Amino acid sequence: MGIFGKSFSQELGKNTGKWASNKIFGNTGWATPRRHVIEVEQRKKAT
């Protein structure tokens, strides 16, 4: 498989994992930005 095929497979797998995470845990939107927002909010509360 060429470089494009490997990159495409990795991107597809990453996005599929994020979709599954959102469905299982009930997040809205993509998993990564949602997780980032939660961490920022928690840091603000801690200070």
Q: What is the pLDDT of residues 1-47, one digit of tens each?
A: 688 999 999 999 988 888 887 777 766 655 565 666 777 788 888 87
Q: 21 and 31 in contact (C-beta within 8 Å)?
A: yes
pTM above 0.85, yes or no: no
Extract the tokens encoding 14.
Answer: 């990453």
19: left (phi over 0), alpha (psi -120 to 50) or beta: alpha
How far apart, in whole angstroms, are the C-alpha atoms of residue 21 and residue 39? 17
Looking at residue 43, its pLDDT comes to 80
What's the CA gap between 40 and 3, in Å, rounded? Answer: 35
34 near 40, Cβ under 8 Å? no
